[in-house]
Amino acid sequence: MNDQRHKREESFSVFLVSNLGRSSRQFHITLFSIRLAAFVLFLICAAVGFLIYLCISAQGTQNKLRAQLAEQEQLICEMEEQWNALNSEKMTLTAENEALRQNATDAPAAQSVQETSAETAAAYPSRYPSYGAGVLQSNYSEEEPYLSINTYTGGNIIAAGSGIVMRIASDDTYPHIVELEHGNGYVTRYLCRQEAELRVVEGARVQAGDILLTITKDDTQLDYQILYEEKSVDPLEIIDAKG
């Protein structure tokens, strides 16, 4: 009855026989041990395979990151080249602008050196009314009987000829209106559309080139008008040197 209740566990025998005729050995291995060994071997193989997969994935990710880093470095190099080019262009434009400003500043000085006319000629409003950097925006016309000049900070509005300051006023359009009478039928008006520093007083006698207003803000517009015997004339027909 006991033999029927307890079945014998299946096992395998392994014989190790020496080729020298020495003693042999016999090992018994159960089926459970074989299955356990196979399962352990499977786990080891699976673990090795998983590690290989992780290494391959990590290598692929690293290669991808290296490629992205190379692209970013290339982009940075291109941006640096563009920045250097823009900076060089900026320096060139700055130098050209300074040269233009210097030329505009030196022109009235050169003009004053060349002026050797008599007192009557000095009263003739032949000077350009803006001293310093300035851009002529519009010419004389019947609708707008004056020259419009765009001036910059630090520039000056000067007397076009010797004369007397007959009027200083302002209105809704012009914060500063300065009117000079030159005593030979000519009257000049300096109409400033923005605030500036007034440098003369009413009744003062000024010489050609004296400062009437100092510009305190960029893009200040001066409207310059010449009257001859109370009629408007084109200032460009009067001005000898345009600065």
**In a 3-state reduction of DSSP, which class is residue 231?**
strand
How far is residue 94 from each of residues 88, 105, 153, 186, measured CA to CA in Å?
A: 10, 16, 17, 40
Going residue by residue through the chain (243 aa), what tens digit of pLDDT does each one get? Answer: 455 555 566 666 766 666 666 666 766 677 777 788 888 888 898 888 889 888 888 888 888 888 888 888 888 888 888 888 888 888 888 888 888 888 776 666 555 445 445 566 677 888 889 887 778 888 888 888 999 999 988 889 999 999 999 999 999 999 999 999 998 889 999 999 999 999 999 999 999 989 999 999 988 999 999 999 889 999 888 886 444
C-beta of residue 24 within 8 angstroms of C-beta of residue 16: yes
pLDDT at 118: 57
**Chain center to CA of 118:** 51
